Structure 1
Amino acid sequence: MARRGVGTWVRESVWEIPLRRYLALLVAAALVAGLVFAVRPLLRDDRSCAPGVSRPEGSDECVGVATGSYDFGQTRLRDVVRAIRRENDRLKPGGYVTVALLLPYTSTSATSLNDILHQLQGAYLAQYRANHDSNGEAPAIRLVLANPGATGGHWRQTVDQLTRMTTSADRLRAVAGVGQSTDNAKKAVRELTRRHVPVVGSSITADDLANGQHGQDPYPGLARVSPTNTDEARALASFARVSAGKALLVYDKPGDPYTRTLQRSFAALIKGSPYEPQPFTPPADRSQEGTTANTFRQITHLVCDTSRETDTILFAGRHTQLRQFINALGGRGCQDRRFTVLTGDEASYLTHESELDRTALRHRLAVRYTSLAHPDAWARDTARTGGSAADFGALNELLAGARRAPVGPIGSAALDDGQLITGYDTLQLAVHGIREAVPDGRKIPGLADVGLQWPQVKGSLRVDGASGWICLDVHGNPYDKAVPIVELTPEGGARFVRIAWPEGKPPAKDCLPPSP
């Protein structure tokens, strides 16, 4: 074998070192590239937002049940969510049950988020009262936030998660809240109750989101704090004495559970009216503006075309469309004529609505609605039945203490839209059902047993709510519940007018619903 010379060896060594380094760099680059490509799918598949909350495939919304201090990215909820977390953290394992407050926490509507904040604040104050001012009654109450999405579209994922929590250490025993009467809300409530999960509705008022219609109970285990649209319309009629010949109906077509049942209730009040009801068609997501402002501008011309005796407009629609309609009426041609718009509790969303043209309310226009609650409802007459200043005062005292530790802070609170009061009463009813269902010698009730308590919530077993007495019929609906009539003011906010009653008068002292 021929021997290599020194020169040849040196030349090969000089080239060999850089070549080795080059190959090493290539291998390292390949490894890094492989690692990046391997990690990317993992990053893509990480859909979590917080414990119990994740983004469904094809969506950027964080939905599910938040069991920690997650506020769904809503800074206005931060203080009250932290207060709830502090209260939850002090509970002893095995000594509490969980109540989930089901609301659309990822809503993009500032108006809706105000209502959500106030309901959450009210629910927390009821939780705090139940855990600290109940003379040691058991079980303690843990509160969590359940989000089905801004429009409720992810209700099934959230319902599945809530169902699992009924058999885990969470010991979920009720779902409260629900909020708006939408088709997705109906689906969620139907599925929860089908799975024997008790539900306590806060501000749902649609007749077809209630039991007892046509003798049927499609939602076994559902109780409600708020009257149905029919009961609200009856209370409104007893207050306003609506005449068929002097009223025009404007309604959402095709509508949703809330607007459809409100439309039917209003149509029954003015049966035989000489005027054809005027429809408008909003976007499917009724929190969006759409083009309905144009329709309302045209309807104002028809309003002015009615006889001069016509002075009432019954509005069956959501708050965004109501705001557009009020703004249009402010510029109507017949400024010399006085009109009163009568509508349902959705109008409470406009209490602090910045886009509402309040100057319209100075142009011979009044907007009155059936509120679910109002802080002035019991201030004028403490002797009447159906509620009392003392019951509201208990909440007011709690709220005053929530400005600082140990109860608060809970963020900026308001009572005049009724939502904080309603949220408080909703959780009070849930706590009542849970504790009444506890068997002798035990501290935790069975899941289905909670929903069996609703028919007995009457008489001396009623809940003395801050919004008025909560006396339930055998279907879980409030009987002859106080309905505050409220009026939007040009200066901002809303003014209490007076209490109306579905039965035309307050319930008797025994608060026992009569036979149908």
Structure 2
Amino acid sequence: MAGMTAGWPAWLREHVWEIRFRRYVALMLAVVLVAAGVWGGMTLAREDRSCAPGIERPEGSDECVGVSTTAYDFGQRRLTDVIAAIDRENDSIASRARVTVAVFQPFSTADNDTLRELQGAYLAQYEANHHESGQTPAVRLVLADPGADSAHWRETVDALGRMAKGPDRLRAVTGIGSSTDTNKEAVRELTRLGIPVIGTSITADDLANGQNGKDPFPGLARVAPTNTDLARALTSSARISTDRAYLVYDKPGDPYTRTLRQSFERLLKGSPYQPSAFHPPQDRTREGATANAFRNITFNICDTPRTTDTLLFAGRHTQLRQFVNALGRRGCLDRKFTVLTGDEGSYLTSDKELETAALGRNLTVRYTALAHFDAWTDNPPARGGSRADARTLAKLLAQAEHEPVGPIGSAPLDGGQLTVAYDATRLAVKGIRQATPDGSRFPGLADVGDVWPQLRGSLRVYGASGWLCLDNHGNPYDKAVPIVELTPAGGSEFVELAWPEGRPPKDNCLPPA
């Protein structure tokens, strides 16, 4: 081009170059605008990850997590009725002095336990708002979903932190059903933010305060006994002797299995046998290769002297089912064994992979349940709980089959999860109301957690699962522990109540020094 314009006048050459420059700028600007439009559209599409108010899909995930304040059912039809009932109840108290309690569960991957958790929490909310006349503040429930295995707990906890500081007046979080590492981190952060937490069915010792005199989770209270207390209750019921028991445990374990193993080991101190370990997948709901490991372990069990008749199992329910199945095919079927384990045993009642025929081959499986309605129906003890407290929940549950309380979906009491969730929310309500000063409409956030150790004696919670008398660390003192046995028909039956202290608490329900 330069050669072509060499003989042209200078003014003409400048004019041509100006035209070319303007065209170049216009072309580049068009490219930039098109690219910006495409990128902007992509950005807008990527940012629109909402599922419902307060609920969205994090980057790289299809799960809907966060804190829901509406009737959104997380795409789970089994939750629709009870979430609609909660939403109606929240609307009905909108003009009253109210505080918020969050239920922390993976609703988007809801199983029956999650449904029962939500049903129990709702029944306690309805009772607090309607049957306890004149008591304030009223209670609003919201649903906090941290994702499957609490993988997105950080985002959900951050949202709860904002609700605790703002007009929502979040004053407690219940739920935290499983003793996992991610739930442990979630509880640590919630309590660091000063938010009181009530663990519904967590049993791990290292997800409790008071271990070695330390309180790593200030403001944490629990409905379920620790694994140590459950093991003490179990062994007091079974009258275990160290020379007749054999331990099988998860290695390296998670918070639940690890502390259950430690509890059993303390009880078997001096045992003549080295325990057998198995190595499950990191996701303990998966099968892995542990079924083969259990086949081999049954040879070790059969090699023990014939006086050995008790097998202590520290593992999750998938591995427990594999272990029971392997025992049903053991070489020493002529010998009788009793498997004793923690509350994960309750999952086997609905596990279709369980070979129930094993239970008819000189094998008994017993576990510690967190609650069982039958424990308080026939000849209950004089202390530690009552038939009347259990019937209060049963009556409320019957009312929830239809309006105005329900419907909330099918809600049997046999599993225990509904009962402990009901008790956990009642504990939250009691703490909130006891922490509310005279002449004030609401308690301070920190005051609720501070009141937990005072809920004992005459301030105990008369739970449907038994008395809740909290010690200085927020743990239930000498809580009733139902011992339940699997049946060859695939169900379960209540055996007896056991107690960490070997007997029910005294009438005053005051933990000793």
The TM-score normalised by the length of structure 2 is 0.91
Structure 2 residue corresponding to 1:396, chosen from 394, 397, 401:
394
SS in structure 2 opposite 1:498?
A: strand
Alignment-mate amino acid for residue 438 of structure 2: D
| Separation in structure 2 between the aligned mates of residue 198 and residue 484 of structure 1, nearest angstrom | 28
**Residue 68 (structure 1) aligns with:** 70
What are the superposed Cα offsets for residues 222-280 of structure 1, whole Å, 9 maximum, x if unpaired? 11011000000110111001111111101011101111110011011111222211111
Q: Measure how far apart 1:218 and its partner are.
A: 0.8
Distance 1:324 1:158 in 2: 35
CA offsets 1:471-516 (integer angstroms, 9 cap, x no match) = 001111100000000011111321000000000000000001100x
Deviation at 1:411, TM superposition (A): 1.1
Equivalent residue for 1:439, pick from 434, 437, 447:
437
Per the alignment, residue 140 of structure 1 pairs with: 138
Paired with 1:382 and 1:282, the residues of 2 have a C-alpha distance of 39
Asked whether the 8 Å contact 2:204–2:260 carries over to 1, the reply is yes
Q: Which residue of 1 aligns with 2:6?
A: none
- 2:376 aligns to what SS in structure 1? coil
What is the aligned-residue RMSD (CA, Å)? 1.7
Match for residue 375 of structure 2? Answer: 377
User: What's the CA shift for 1:45?
Assistant: 2.0
Which of 43, 46, 49 lines up with 2:48 in the alignment? 46
| Range with greater deviation from structure 2 (51-60 or 199-208) | 51-60
Cα offset, 1:169, TM superposition? 2.0
Q: CA deviation at 1:401?
A: 0.8
2:160 aligned partner: 162
- 1:80 maps to which of 75, 79, 82: 82
The more displaced of 468-477 and 290-299 is 290-299
Residue pair 1:115, 1:349 contacting (<8 A) in 2 also: no
Equivalent residues in 2 for 1:419-438, closer than 5 Å: 419-438=417-436
Aligned partners of 1:296, 1:422: CA distance in 2, in Å? 32
Q: Which residue of 1 aligns with 2:274?
A: 276
In structure 1, distance between residues paired with 2:445 and 2:142:
17
- Alignment of structure 1 residues 69-468 onto 2, 5 Å: 69-93=71-95, 95-107=97-109, 113-382=111-380, 384-468=382-466
Residues 351-406 of structure 1: per-residue CA shift (max 9 Å, x gap): 22222221211111111011100010111224510000000000000001111111
CA distance in 1, matches of 2:381, 2:332: 44
Q: Deviations over 1:18-38 (max 9, x none)?
A: xxxxxxxxxxxxx99996664
Q: Distance in 2 between matches of 1:490 and 1:446?
A: 52
CA drift at 1:93: 4.2
Alpha-carbon distance between aligned partners in 2 of 1:44 and 1:155, rounded to the nearest angstrom: 21
Question: SS of the counterpart of 1:452?
Answer: helix
What per-residue deviation string (whole Å, max 9, x for no partner) do you get for residues 195-243 of structure 1? 1100011101111111111111111111101100000011011100111
Check the 8 A contact 1:53/1:65 in 2, yes or no: yes
Q: Alpha-carbon deviations, 1:305-351, whole Å to 9, x = none?
A: 22111111100011111111112211222111111100001111222
What's 2:468 paired with?
470
- Alpha-carbon distance in structure 2 between the residues aligned to 1:289 and 1:75: 28
Q: 2-side partners of 1:34 and 1:513: how far apart?
A: 68
CA contact (8 A) 1:250 1:279 kept: yes
Find the residue that maps to 1:160 and give its secondary structure: helix
> Are residues 37 and 183 of structure 1, via their aligned partners in 2, closer, same or farther at CA, if it must alter by over 3 Å?
closer
CA distance in 2, matches of 1:349, 1:414: 15
Name the aligned partner's letter for residue 260 of structure 1. R
**1:151–1:285: 8 Å Cα contact kept in structure 2?**
no
- Distance in 1 between the 2:65 and 2:224 partners? 26
Provide the rounded CA distance (Å) in 2 between the counterparts of 1:133 and 1:351. 34
State the distance in 2 between where 1:104 and 1:306 align.
43
Query: In structure 2, how many angstroms separate the alpha carbons of the residues matched to 1:64 and 1:287?
Result: 24
Amino acid aligned to 1:243: S
Q: Output the CA distance in 1 between the equivalents of 2:96 and 2:193.
A: 23
The 8 Å contact of residues 416 and 493 in structure 1, kept in 2 or not, is answered as no
> Gaps (5+ residues) in structure 1?
1-30
Once structures 1 and 2 are overlaid, which stretch shifts more, 37-46 or 57-66? 37-46
User: Hey, what's the Cα distance between the residues in 1 that align with 2:34 and 2:361?
Assistant: 71
Instruction: Give the partner amino acid of 1:66.
Output: S
Q: CA-to-partner distance for each residue in 1:128-152, whole Å, 9 max, x for gaps?
A: 1001100121111111111111111
The Cα shift of 1:94 comes to 5.8
> Which range moved further: 92-101 or 248-257?
92-101
Indicate the larger mover: 486-495 or 99-108: 99-108
Kindly provide the amino acid, as one letter, of the partner of residue 419 in structure 1: Q
Alignment of 1:19-30 (within 5 A): none
CA-CA distance at 1:44 after TM superposition: 2.1
Secondary structure of the structure 2 residue equivalent to 1:331: coil
Residue identity matched to 2:136: A
Structure-1 separation of matches of 2:143 and 2:484: 30
Which AA in structure 1 matches 2:343? D
Q: What amino acid is aligned across from residue 281 of structure 1 in structure 2? A: H
Question: In structure 1, how many angstroms separate the alpha carbons of the residues matched to 2:119 and 2:375?
Answer: 20
Q: Provide closer, same or farther for how the CA distance between residues 94 and 43 of structure 1 changes in structure 2, counting only shifts above 3 A.
A: farther
Aligned partner of residue 109 in structure 2, secondary structure: coil
Partner Cα distance (2:34, 2:188) in 1: 51
The match for 1:6 is: none
* Post-superposition CA distance 1:54-101 (Å, at most 9, x none): 111111111111111122222211111111111111112462111001
SS at match of 2:143: strand
Q: TM-score, normalised on structure 1?
A: 0.91
Look up the equivalent residue of 2:362 and give its one-letter code: R
What stretches of structure 2 of length at least 5 have no aligned partner?
1-32
Q: Specify the SS of the correspondent of 2:194.
A: coil
Pick from 502, 511, 515 the counterpart of residue 500 of structure 2.
502
Give the fraction of aligned pairs with identical amino acids, expressed as a percent: 66
Moved more, 154-163 or 294-303: 294-303
CA distance in 2, matches of 1:274, 1:354: 36
Say if 1:405 and 1:32 are closer, same or farther in 2 by CA, change over 3 A.
farther
Q: Distance in 2 between matches of 1:374 and 1:386?
A: 14
| 1:25 matched residue in structure 2 | none
Residue in 2 aligned with 1:22?
A: none
Contact 2:96–2:138 (8 Å) recurs in 1: no
